[in-house]
């Protein structure tokens, strides 16, 4: 089933449902991507350098036989690469076996020491993450704007950026407003204020971990399950359709063919069936005591998100 598209702020169209690839093992992601494109109608694949599987995603795309021009392909700049955006992008393009991306995102608003003790997660002697706290995110963004101007990517955006970081550190300096902000969005972390803010700025919200990631507590949620019963759908369908109905680009991860297919079909079916009242009810679930962030790397830096205590690895 083909996913409807929505327009980004530069006119580029993005399919509202995409296949996520975080935590997909390299040997599994080839067939997952191939199947998603060839058999399940996906035309949008979300990847990242840091997922350590870009080469296999590229292989899956090639095996699918679907022309590159029909696929919306996203990848992300890793934290140790903020000082060399174009070189990092070139590595990603080579990994994926393509000469352009549809969307390139700054993965986190954090620059980790590129000369530290680890290529991906450098740490200080006390075990805390080796964040370059003086780095200005605007300097990363200027390089993102440069690769956009060169035509190596069709759109640029951010991920894990809070309203505060966008307002204080990025938008006042940006020539190009980010096309998207990809953040953790799901029934238990709906970030209603952030979503409203992003929409007011013309920034499309993208949901990662829409099902609550691995071993999700969301799949047992009573409100979502009741709606699933009411509409003859699965709870996963309701969780995904809830986001799609709110015009949130939804990146759903699976390496299982049945679930890959049912997720796109179910998301679109549920988005059509859910009423305004259903959405309001679902919007209220987190606030009724279920609020839960599932993805909280211990950066040791205040990223400006609600419900995110700053934890410093090795200290608290």
Binding mask 8-47 for ligand A2P (x = CB under 6 A): ------------x---------------------------
The answer to whether residue 81 forms part of the interface with ligand A2P (CB under 6 A) is: no
Active site residues: 51
**Phi/psi at 91 (5° precision):** -65, -45
CA count, 13 A, side-chain hemisphere, 129? 20
The Cα–Cα gap between 150 and 59 comes to 26
Helix (H) or strand (E) holding 64: helix 54-64
Smallest Cα–Cα separation from 36: which of 60, 62, 4, 58?
A: 60
CB of 305 to ligand A2P, least distance (A): 18
Q: Can you tell me which of 198, 255, 264, 267 binds ligand A2P, judged by CB under 6 A?
A: 255
Give the residue with the Cβ less far from ligand A2P, 117 or 256: 256
The answer to whether residue 219 forms part of the interface with ligand A2P (CB under 6 A) is: yes
Binding mask 261-300 for ligand A2P (x = CB under 6 A): -xx-------------------------------------
By DSSP bridging, strand 5-7 and strand 13-15 are: antiparallel
Smallest Cα–Cα separation from 303: which of 291, 290, 315, 293?
A: 293
Is residue 107 part of an annotated ligand binding site?
yes
Q: Can you tell me which of 113, 143, 189, 252 binds ligand A2P, judged by CB under 6 A?
A: 252
The answer to whether residue 129 forms part of the interface with ligand A2P (CB under 6 A) is: no
Smallest Cα–Cα separation from 158: which of 192, 203, 128?
A: 203
Tokens for 62? 């090639």
Q: 120 and 50 in contact (C-beta within 8 Å)?
A: yes
CB of 266 to ligand A2P, least distance (A): 7
Give the residue with the Cβ less far from ligand A2P, 95 or 252: 252
The Cα–Cα gap between 187 and 161 comes to 19
**Could you tell me which residues are annotated as the binding site?**
107
Contact residues for ligand A2P, defined by CB under 6 A: 20, 209-214, 216, 219, 236, 252-256, 259, 262-263
**Could you tell me which residues are annotated as the binding site for substrate?**
107
């Amino acid at each position: 089933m083909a996913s409807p598209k929505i327009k980004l702020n530069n006119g580029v169209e993005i399919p509202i449902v995409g296949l996520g690839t975080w935590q997909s093992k390299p040997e599994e992601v080839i067939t997952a991507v191939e199947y998603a494109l060839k058999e399940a109608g996906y035309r949008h694949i979300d990847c990242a350098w840091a997922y350590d599987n870009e080469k296999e995603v590229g292989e899956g795309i090639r095996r699918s036989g679907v022309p590159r021009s029909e696929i919306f392909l996203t990848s992300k700049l890793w934290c140790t690469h903020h000082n060399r955006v174009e070189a990092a992008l070139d590595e990603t393009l080579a990994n994926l076996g393509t000469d352009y991306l549809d969307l390139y995102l700054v993965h986190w608003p954090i620059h980790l020491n590129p000369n530290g003790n680890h290529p991906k997660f450098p740490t200080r002697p006390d075990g805390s993450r080796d964040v370059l706290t003086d780095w200005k995110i605007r300097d990363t963004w200027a390089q993102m704007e440069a690769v956009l101007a060169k035509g190596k990517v069709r759109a640029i955006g951010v991920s894990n950026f809070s309203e505060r970081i966008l307002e204080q550190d990025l938008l006042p300096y940006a020539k190009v407003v980010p096309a998207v902000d990809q953040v953790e969005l799901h029934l238990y972390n709906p970030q209603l204020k952030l979503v409203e803010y992003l929409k007011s700025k013309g920034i499309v919200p993208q949901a990662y971990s829409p099902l609550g990631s691995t071993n999700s507590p969301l799949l047992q949620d009573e409100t979502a399950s009741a709606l699933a019963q009411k509409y003859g759908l699965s709870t996963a369908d309701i969780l995904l359709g809830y986001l799609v109905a709110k015009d949130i680009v939804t990146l759903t991860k699976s390496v299982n063919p049945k679930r890959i297919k049912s997720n796109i079909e179910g998301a679109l079916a549920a988005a059509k069936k859910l009423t305004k009242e259903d959405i309001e009810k679902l919007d209220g679930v987190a606030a009724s005591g279920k609020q839960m962030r599932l993805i909280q790397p211990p950066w040791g830096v205040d990223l400006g998100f609600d419900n995110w205590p700053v934890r410093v690895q090795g200290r608290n």
